[in-house]
Amino acid sequence: MIIFLVRGIYAALASIALAFEVAPWTREAFVRYGKTRSDPAEGDGTNKRRLHQQAPRSAPETDLLSWFSQQTVPKNWFWHFYLVGAVVGCLVALDLLGRTLGQTRSLLDLCSEMVPVTYLRQSLALKQSVDGGIENSPGSIKSPHMAALLTLLMYIIHVALRLKETVRDQPKTDARMHIGQYGVGIIYYIVTPLAVVADAYCVPGWTMPPVWAALAGIALYIYASVHQWRCHHILYRLRSRAMVRQSIEHKYVVPDGDLFSLVSCPHFLCEIVIYVSIWTAAGFQATTLVWTICWTVVNLGITARETQQWYRQKFGPEYPQGRKALVPYVW
């Protein structure tokens, strides 16, 4: 069943990320990217030697693992993630739009035929109370297609805006990320459009969300999107100014303005809030989307922690001591 597959992918990704964050060597090799992956003053060669020195020496596979830890791709390739997310999201939207208009049979309808019998039996009573009778067979669950399209549209707009920012607005850098992180990003943006709408088509008892939930989700979505845009462009301006500086010592400065006064990574916080807003617009029914949110919290939480540590090491007492990593006034 598609929802169990998607949830399993999120659980596996989160487990791997947390496991790699524990050990210093795997953290440096596979988790960190961009400015936190290596000191700009050291260069790639020194960083590779440090990774080789940190690698464990007890197993014969060490050389291969050390080699793999050094395989990186440009961080500028982030736009690939958003392109994949936008394309997959649009394909799913077209599929669902045809199903909503009654012109075609959605491919996602097939997942309702793969629901385990025990799961259907447990959900049958709830489904009868919602649909008003038992005449709806398990293979033809009534789905609020327009609500699913609304949440999917919110997702597509989000990744399209991020695609535009990374291609047109974000200055190019020499920063790198591990090839495994690149693969994780591609997988994430393939499965997330499915996670947004899967429950609406696969879970009995899914109903049209109330109007207040849709409006609240849209309002929260707009708020988070606006602040994320502002925070991204604060970073873009700082990066553009840094590119004209010749001294490594002054290449980075402390970001300030908007939500940076509260946390070190407000753009990560806004990313999480955006997915929460999509879940809200779905009437808090998209359980698979909760798994998406959990993975996003784990992934961005780890990155926010690494970024916070990097800022404090880089700027020392100049960095605002009361500024949290991700959650204002908490952490």
Where residue 106 falls among pLDDT bands split at 50, 70, 90? Answer: low
Strand partners, 260: none
In Å, how far are 16, 155, 177, 248, 291 from 326, measured between CA atoms? 21, 22, 21, 27, 19
Nearest to 269 by CA among 236, 227, 217, 310: 227
- More confidently predicted of 244 and 46: 244
- H/E stretch holding 178 reads strand 176-178
Judge whether residue 30 has pLDDT over 90. Answer: no
**Are the C-beta atoms of residues 211 and 147 closer than 8 Å to each other?**
no
* Model pLDDT, residue 123: 39
Question: Are the C-beta atoms of residues 281 and 218 closer than 8 Å to each other?
Answer: yes
Cα–Cα distance between 228 and 221 in angstroms, integer? 10
Burial 61-70 (b: 16+ CB within 10 A, else e): eeeeebeebb
DSSP string, 21-68: HHSHHHIIIII--GGGTS-TTTHHHHHHHHHHHHS--SSTTHHHHHHH
Kindly tell me the sign of the dihedral angle through the C-alpha atoms of 266, 324, 235, 168: negative
Tens digits of per-residue pLDDT, 112-127?
555 443 443 343 333 3
| Average pLDDT, rounded, for the chain | 80
pLDDT tens digits, 184-218: 999 999 999 999 998 887 777 777 888 899 999 99
**Stretch 253-265: mean pLDDT, rounded?**
93
- pLDDT, tens digit, for every residue of 120-170? 334 333 333 334 333 333 433 344 677 888 999 999 999 999 999 999 998
Bridge partner list, 178? 72
Q: Is pLDDT above 90 for 82?
A: yes
* Tokens at 44, concatenated: 């790639």
Per-residue pLDDT, 46: 41
Residue 181 has pLDDT above 50, yes or no: yes
Measured CA distances, 102 to 95, 97, 198, 306 (Å): 11, 8, 18, 49
